[in-house]
Amino acid sequence: MMIAESIAPGHIKSEDEHRRDICVAGRWIHARNFVAATDGNISVRLDPSRVLTSPTAVSKGMMAPDDLVVTDLKGKRLSGHRPPSSELAMHLLIYRRRPDVFAVCHAHPPTATGYAAAGLALNKAIVSEVVLSLGCIPVAPYATPGTPELSSALEPFVQNYDALLMANHGVVTYGADLLTAFFRMETVEHFAQVSLVTETLGKQVLLSSRDVEKLLAARARYGSVTASQVGPQCPVTSETEAAARVSFTRDELEALIEKGIEDALQRHREDG
């Protein structure tokens, strides 16, 4: 599918070209099992006042250009015979907060969504290319899909990150054009798979803070989020992980266990 169909980089295109690109991206995320059934949504910013979005309740792998919907920046439908995505408000929030963003993808790639469901950020510096391209991927708190609460949960993160895990929900990525937004979705899932392998193997060798500083400096030169804008201890480096790690001797651990048992027995006696 990727070979037979392509999306040209850049956001300055005709509306017909954007319609075709969204349908191609929909087939890509469906073919990669990033979505199931009618899940997910995709949009592009057509101009300062209009957005082109996937419709609700339609498989992303089966969309036709005429299925897509044009809305204003408040979500009012301007053209199209179908209702817009039920999660359009999330896209509109991103466009409002990030004038540099012209495309948004939301999907449920299985491994990354597993991390989101576990409440675990993809924030460890274990792959240099991911630090360079995304910095890290935090977890936004859970909010009911399709409600204003979802936008409120994402809002604190949108300004400083280009990809977000959505707790118990999925992933949203965005960028200067649709190809970038899609590639970021692909990168998040790939990184989640790599991270899961290291956790399964029982060992993660993190990059040092100095290594990460160099990567973030390069990221800033490319016009991405700068090191000063990245959240605290994100990405997590070998030094920050070591500082957060708590260690005990065998005797200390046995004493803690013994005290825990004694406290539990005392509470049981008091309750009885």
What CATH number does the domain containing 93 carry?
Answer: 3.40.225.10
Tokens of 29: 């995320």
Residue 180 lies in a domain: yes
What domain range includes position 85? 15-201
Least-confidence region, from 16-30, 129-143, 154-168, 239-253: 239-253
| pTM for this prediction | 0.85
What is the percent of the chain where pLDDT is above 70?
89
Give me the pLDDT at residue 4, please. Answer: 56
User: Is pLDDT above 90 for 235?
Assistant: no
Give me the pLDDT at residue 23, please. Answer: 98
Residue 212 lies in a domain: no
Q: pLDDT-based confidence at 228, cuts 50/70/90?
A: very low
Residue 44 lies in a domain: yes
Least-confidence region, from 22-26, 200-204, 222-226: 222-226
What is the percent of the chain where pLDDT is above 90?
74
Give me the pLDDT at residue 227, please. Answer: 39
Kindly report the number of other CB atoms within 10 A of residue 223's CB atom: 9
The total number of structural domains in the chain stands at: 1
Q: How far is C-alpha 195 from the geometric centre of its chain's CA atoms?
A: 15
Residue 75 lies in a domain: yes
Per-residue pLDDT tens over the stretch 57-96:
999 999 999 999 999 999 999 999 999 999 999 999 999 9
Give me the pLDDT at residue 105, please. Answer: 98
User: Is pLDDT above 80 for 257?
Assistant: yes
User: Is pLDDT above 70 for 197?
Assistant: yes
Give me the pLDDT at residue 247, please. Answer: 54
Give me the pLDDT at residue 256, please. Answer: 73
Give me the pLDDT at residue 53, please. Answer: 98
Residue 95 lies in a domain: yes
Residue 243 lies in a domain: no
What are phi and psi for residue 96, nearest 5 degrees?
Answer: -70, -40
> Cα separation of 39 and 24, whole Å?
16
- What DSSP string describes 239-269? HHHHHH-----HHHHHHHHHHHHHHHHHHHH
Which has the higher per-residue pLDDT, 268 or 177?
177
Give me the pLDDT at residue 226, please. Answer: 42
Give me the pLDDT at residue 184, please. Answer: 97
Which has the higher per-residue pLDDT, 244 or 221?
221
Q: pLDDT-based confidence at 222, cuts 50/70/90?
A: confident
Residue 72 lies in a domain: yes
- Output the average pLDDT for the chain: 89
> Cα separation of 41 and 270, whole Å?
56
Which has the higher per-residue pLDDT, 44 or 238?
44
Average pLDDT over residues 27-54: 97
Residue 64 lies in a domain: yes
Instruction: Give 212's Cβ-side CA count (13 Å radius).
Output: 26
Per-residue pLDDT tens over the stretch 109-129:
999 999 999 999 999 999 999
